[in-house]
Amino acid sequence: MNTLEQDIYNRLLQGRSVILVGPTEEGKTWFVKNKLIPLFDLNKQTYQYIYGFINDPVFVKSNFVIVDEYETFLDRDFLEKRYPEDVPYYNDKYFNDVSRWYKLLAENKLPTVYILTRNEAPDIDNILSNVGLTDWGNKVDVIEFIRKP
């Protein structure tokens, strides 16, 4: 049986991208840095690590891309219905910043791991059931990250 890192690695080798979704502080970033990236290194695969949308990504020649603190608006309606006290769920500045970031990420044509945070089980289930594309239309596989004890 393949480990999660081997499963993700195999998908990337096939040219597929992955959204890794799970709660805050569950270890998604730790997993990528300590399990997945060593697998890249072991197999002499190059990667680019992009953290959040604070800095504009400039894509360099590599085999894979990792985008930490990825955000999607594909579940915005779902979240606003579930959390009506938080409407609008994303303020205008955040929405504009992330939308600008999407235009830059859309330039990336490499297999990518997108690390996405959703904290509640229904929010994660919604992503697992309803998201198969990035916000700019690239196909992705969605995998739930569950911390192993």
Least Cα distance to 71 among 92, 51, 85 occurs for 51
- Find out whether 112 and 67 touch, Cβ atoms under 8 Å: yes
**Amino acid at site 4:** L
Taking only the tens place, the pLDDT of each residue in 124-147 is: 999 999 999 999 999 999 999 997
Q: How many whole angstroms separate alpha carbon 39 and alpha carbon 144?
A: 19
Whole-model pTM? 0.92
- Find out whether 66 and 115 touch, Cβ atoms under 8 Å: yes
Taking only the tens place, the pLDDT of each residue in 59-112 is: 778 999 999 999 999 999 999 899 888 778 788 888 888 888 888 889 889 999
